[in-house]
Amino acid sequence: CEVKRYAGRGSWHQLLISGNGNRWHPDRLNGWLRQLGIFGQRSYEKRVPEAVFRLSDRQIALLLQHLWATDGTIVPRAKGRGGHGVFYSTNSPGLASDVAALLLRLGIVARISSAKKGNYRPSFFVTVSGATDQRRFLEVVGVFGPRVLQAERLRVVLGRSANTNVDTLPAEDFDRVRELMRARGISHRRMAALRGTAYGGSAHFRFAPSRSVLAEYAVILQDEGLYARANSDLFWDRIVAI
């Protein structure tokens, strides 16, 4: 193939690849894309080729790195302005699911959300949240292209704090905590003192507990079942569609 590169705006460039045959006799890149089953896909039809899922972890990380260089975002936010943004956006729900699956293959948990404006097709976002998974993304997937500087800033910020709002356990686990507290005659105020935290009544139990919080209760209440839940390898998330 002959490749010509044309400069575009900012970090965008256009590549013209010639010598690929035609629709009747596809050759080289044309033939390869058709073989992968991704030739001529519209934006909302895109998928990761099936063959990619048979690649090594290193090759998958390299693919994700370059995907993020196109439609990915890395935004380290200032304190008090929301969580840091590490996400990939696409018009294809299938591609979003594929990217999330590839990330999980590398031990990185991501969530898929969608947003729609007017009569346009919905956009889908594959978001890596929480300090643990974001750090792993930077270490395993890495960054290529114009987002290197943002990635380095995020790496510095993540070294200071951790966000436990992702790998949380079902709020229903607190039902067992309350049951054990009643059985042992421990009030909310007394439990706060035992944990060394400020007393806030029952408001604390309205949120999904982190593993470390549930483990604290398990030790204080001496309950093996709670401790096993806090230290299991199972990742919990809310089902939004089947």
Rounded mean pLDDT for each run of 10 residues along the chain, 242 residues in total: 72 69 64 79 90 93 92 76 80 95 93 89 92 89 83 81 65 89 90 81 78 84 86 76 72
Asked if the structure places residue 143 within a domain, the reply is yes
User: What CATH code is carried by the domain that includes residue 97?
Assistant: 3.10.28.10
**123 pairs with which residues across the strands?**
115
Asked if the structure places residue 145 within a domain, the reply is yes
Q: Mark residue 126 as left, alpha or beta (left: phi above 0; alpha: psi -120 to 50; beta: remaining).
A: beta
In this prediction, residue 201 carries a pLDDT of 75
129 with 89, same domain: the answer is yes
In this prediction, residue 80 carries a pLDDT of 47
48 with 153, same domain: the answer is yes
20 with 120, same domain: the answer is no
Range 183-191, long-range pairs (CB < 8 A, 24+ positions): 184/221, 186/221, 191/217, 191/220
185 with 87, same domain: the answer is no
Q: State both tokens at 177.
A: 């905590």
Asked if the structure places residue 24 within a domain, the reply is yes
145 with 49, same domain: the answer is yes
Q: State both tokens at 207.
A: 């949120």
In this prediction, residue 61 carries a pLDDT of 94
Asked if the structure places residue 57 within a domain, the reply is yes
In this prediction, residue 20 carries a pLDDT of 61
Asked if the structure places residue 85 within a domain, the reply is yes
Asked if the structure places residue 19 within a domain, the reply is yes
Range 190-198, long-range pairs (CB < 8 A, 24+ positions): 191/217, 191/220, 194/220, 195/220
Asked if the structure places residue 166 within a domain, the reply is no
13 with 97, same domain: the answer is no
Do residues 139 and 106 lie in contact, with contact meaning Cβ atoms separated by under 8 Å?
no
60 with 147, same domain: the answer is yes
Q: State both tokens at 136.
A: 């792993």
The pLDDT tens digits of the residues spanning 34-50 come to 888 887 888 898 999 99
60 with 143, same domain: the answer is yes
Phi, psi of 87 (to 5 degrees): -150, 160
Residue-range definition of the domain harbouring residue 134:
43-158
* Angle, alpha carbons 87-63-42 (nearest 5°): 75
Given 123, 158, 193, the domain boundary residue is 158
Asked if the structure places residue 238 within a domain, the reply is no
70 with 110, same domain: the answer is yes
> In the chain, how many domains are there?
3
* Cβ neighbours around 114 below 10 Å, total: 11
